[in-house]
A and B are shown apart, each in its own frame.
Chain A
Amino acid sequence: MSAVAQNQDNFSQIRTSREMGGITVLVKNLVKRFPGVTALDNVKFELRKGEIHALLGENGAGKTTFVKILYGIYVPDSGDVIVDGKKVTFTSPIDAIRHGISLVSQIPQIIGSLTIAENIILGLEKYGLMTKVRKIEDYIREESKEVGIRVDPNTEVWKLSYTQKQLVELLRAVILGAKVLMLDEAITFLPIREKRKFYKFMKKFVSQGGSVILITHKIPEALEAADRITVLRRGKYVGTIEAKNATIDTVRRMMFGERSAEITYERLPLSTPEDKVMLEVKDLWVMGDYGAFAVKGVKLQVRAGEIVGIAGVAGNGQLELIQAVMGLRKVRKGQVLLRTNGGLKDVTNKGTGVIRKIGVGYIPDEPLKFGVSMENNIEENLAMLPLIAQGFIKWSQMRDLAERLIKEFKVITPSSKTPVKLLSGGNLMKVLVGRELSVARKLLVAYNPTRALDEVTAIAVRKTIKNKVLKDRIAVLMVSEDLDEIFQVSDTIAVMNAGKIVGVFPAEKADRDQVEKLMVM
């Protein structure tokens, strides 16, 4: 507790010493309420010129709301936003961009069917209709060299990897004249080596007088990249500290308070898999989006009471493998077999409906796009699953189920009738995980099941999955880009690289170094 008070003192000290670096953005007494929740309650924040400032907080702490206010998507109920000494009220992202504030979010906001150059031109006021395309391309090439990103402006965006897309977003922001870059969980899911590219870029950007707000729920990321760290909790300002004086433990305590004691990365108890195979994948070949095989002859077994964790750098065929297992992507060769009450059944290319009916839960890779319907409320998002409701819907039943999930997963929501678009990313994920666990009678297929969840919640979700496996003896096939997660819950660890399984280890014998080597081999 004293640490927090001390940090608040620090903050006032910093404010009085303005001369050490001008203040670019100053936020005072910011309040934003939504029906049933106060998302931001008297929040203050200070961004100096030339600093990387991390904004940390657990799910629902108000980070995203804060960013959306600075970016003009929400208008605050009260409070001041001062940019370069002038009070501003942004009512659209255009206002923010004109003031040099740009946002790069978790989901790339660039248009897939256009080239990089075309995407960048869209926001560029410097060039008009009649400018030769060549000239713009040269300009982009030059600028990208300047900021240290190598791109070919003629590449269509859909061909890029996630990292490249995010880099293009950054490039666009810089070309549009950003002085303040906000990265909203933009690099949270990148492997550490890719992250370092961004760190390098950020350091260069701030050395040239820019400032960065790094929004994240990963403490190590903040400690490594940021100069200062501000923590929010439940919509309230907790404190600001210098990153060099901070440790994981102090930041955790600021983020979670008492609950930080629940954080552990110890391996959860291993379950004892039975011999009964629940999911078998035989010599599977699946095409990726770009006309080449993304999955090349994968062989895999998941037994009852077993969690198989697939480790790998994103984009090595894990996604396509999962989609093929779920019947969402065509299998070109090979077989997917699932255990039904009548033994193993071939479900290759049988369609998602058939596969789900056997009792398969699915946590997809882009939860907002494939997991939930944003316009509908929690109850409706439960009833949409054929495994939960068929024909006439008994809404009272749905309400009971929704309320059970809300209680079990500590979902922060005004009610079970709240449209899920009003939930924070983490709470939305909890609803999805809860729903899918409730229908996984035989198998759970998951892709980054704790993405967007803070440490305390992520660990709680992992424990819930583990308990379900121990209790109901279901099988789990889990892909995660987070090695901590893989090591914490898996009974068996498989490493996927370039469309192939390149190593399978029982959890107790798996060696982290070896796994990492296989991932980038």
Chain B
Amino acid sequence: MRLVVTRRIKPLRFGGIIIPLLSIIIGIVIASIALLVLARVPPTLVYTIIAQSFVSPQLLRPFVLLTILGVALIISFSAAVWNIGAEGQIIWGMIAAGYIGLFVAAHSMYIKPSELPTYENMPGVMILDRSPIHPVVSVLNVSPAVGGALMILAALVFGAIWAFIAGTLRAVLEIDEVASTLIMNYIAYYSFNYLVTGPMRGLSVQARNFGRTDALHEALRFQRLPIAGTTVTWQEVATMVVVFVLAWVLLKYTTYGLRLRILGSNPNALRAAGVSVRKYIIAALTISGAIAGVVGALIFAANLFALNKIDNVVSPPTQSMGYTAILVSWLAMLDLKGIPISAYIVAGLMQTGNSLQAALGSVSTAGAMISGAAITHVLVGFVLLTYTVLRVFTEYSIKVVRGGR
């Protein structure tokens, strides 16, 4: 009698849902034991906070953004084109949205201190700086709806262009996109710094002193959903729905999507069918980059409002979501249906890490000092580990057989 592992002919039914869910449960149990041993964090506290975190409305915004990014990445991953550059594409989306929001849809200008009262209640004007020497106001040039649409559109275009460059390098010069997209993230970070401290630097005192842009006109800021405890805006939710539906249609109901998927498994067959493999490689990255770019606009207009210089590339204004999204798309086993589920799980784990840190600060019995980041890593690490082990079951089955080796 012995165990035999064989490749499944048919993948496990509902494996795409069962495996991530089981991974999270088992992973959390192991992680709580680890936290108990390492930092004497009581497991009950961990479970309580996890349970709270996973139903917390705070989860909503990271969930929405990670879903959009997960979809962006799955489009290129399913073509076996590895877009590691969502970060850079988001950054360029921010820059583009920032430019539109701060210089086109509205613009800021100096006024005389004596003019302040005149501008005070003028429609379409927002006072950015009440400095007695150089007051600054922001003047709205277009309707907020047009401005919002323009910001998203510009972000889409710039994200796409940034990814298109990497796509062209891969398709024409055969430069590996993993390396180029990753390197281009840093180019994007430093370009961002140059722009926000140089050409796009704001007029207000704070902007001039701290090297940042002015703040976005209030009318152009995206509106929050009327749910207590969340900062998510309806524009973000709408974008998620639109992106998800479009990606679904693209991948399932068009020849472009089908060929992207075939590009992932057999580019030779595509070539012989008369399809330009180069175009499809470029398209995979460009579409992926376009969606990631849109996220840049969302982060800017829903949450940041002003673009600050990145002091440390480890903590960019993207909150490194471009990398986290890689996790999301793999956790979904590169299946579009799985993206919202895995985005929810990852968002929940991130949230848990933050809440645990806050809780441990107040619970003195917990004793050991352990940072939120460390907790998050322990949680995510164990969940991924379990996931990796469990994933084997979707492709292999284990049987007991009689007979010797």
A residues with a Cβ closer than 8 A to B are 34-35, 74-75, 80, 86-89, 91, 95, 326-328, 351-357, 362, 364, 369-376, 380, 383-387, 389-393, 395, 422
Contact = CB atoms under 8 A, between A and B. Distances in A.
A356 B5 contact: no
A352 B268 CA distance: 12
B274 A376 contact: no
Contacts of A95: 405
Contacts of B265: 373-376
15 contacts: A35-B9, A74-B6, A87-B403, A89-B404, A326-B272, A328-B271, A351-B276, A352-B271, A356-B273, A370-B268, A371-B269, A372-B266, A373-B269, A387-B274, A390-B255
Contacts of B404: 86-89
A74 B6 CA distance: 7
Interface stretch (B68-76, B256-264, B357-365): B256-264
A351 B277 CA distance: 11
A80 B9 CA distance: 21
A386 B275 CA distance: 7
A372 B273 CA distance: 9
B254 interface: yes
Contact of A371 (B4, B253, B272, B402): B272
Contacts of A384: 255, 258-259, 262, 269-270, 273, 275
B4 to A, nearest CB: 5
B405 A88 contact: yes
Interface in B119-155: none
B5 A91 contact: yes
Contact of B272 (A74, A362, A374, A390): A362
A380 B276 CA distance: 18
Given A357-B274, A393-B254, A422 B401 contact: no
A171 B5 CA distance: 30
B4, B5, B268 pick with most chain A CB within 10 angstroms: B268
Contact of A380 (B256, B258, B275): B258
A66 to B, nearest CB: 16
Contact of B261 (A91, A327, A376, A385): A376
Contacts of A88: 403-405
Contacts of B10: 35
Contacts of A375: 261, 265-266
Contact of A392 (B4, B5, B254, B270): B254
Contact of A386 (B6, B268, B273, B401): B273
Contacts of B253: 392-393, 395
Contacts of A327: 274
B4 A89 contact: yes
Given A86-B404, A89-B401, A386-B255, A353 B276 contact: yes
B401 A75 contact: yes
A258 B97 CA distance: 74
A393 B4 contact: no
Nearest to B267: A373
A393 B258 contact: yes
Contacts of A389: 255, 258
Q: Which of A364, A369, A384 counts the most B-chain CB atoms under 10 A from its CB?
A: A384
Nearest to B274: A356
List the 10 closest A-B pairs by CB distance, nearest first: A356-B274, A353-B274, A375-B265, A352-B274, A370-B272, A373-B266, A373-B262, A89-B403, A75-B6, A87-B403
Contacts of A328: 271-272
B269 A369 contact: yes
A422 B9 CA distance: 8
Contacts of A387: 274
Contacts of A353: 274-276
A126 B269 CA distance: 40
B155 to A, nearest CB: 27
A112 B377 CA distance: 42
Nearest to B399: A75
Contact of A391 (B254, B268, B270, B402): B254
Nearest to B259: A384
A35 B271 CA distance: 31
A374 B4 CA distance: 26
Interface string B1-41: 00011100110000000000000000000000000000000
B340 to A, nearest CB: 24
Nearest to A87: B403
A488 B386 CA distance: 60
Contacts of A370: 268-269, 271-272
Contacts of B6: 74-75, 91
B184 to A, nearest CB: 29
Nearest to A353: B274
Nearest to B405: A95
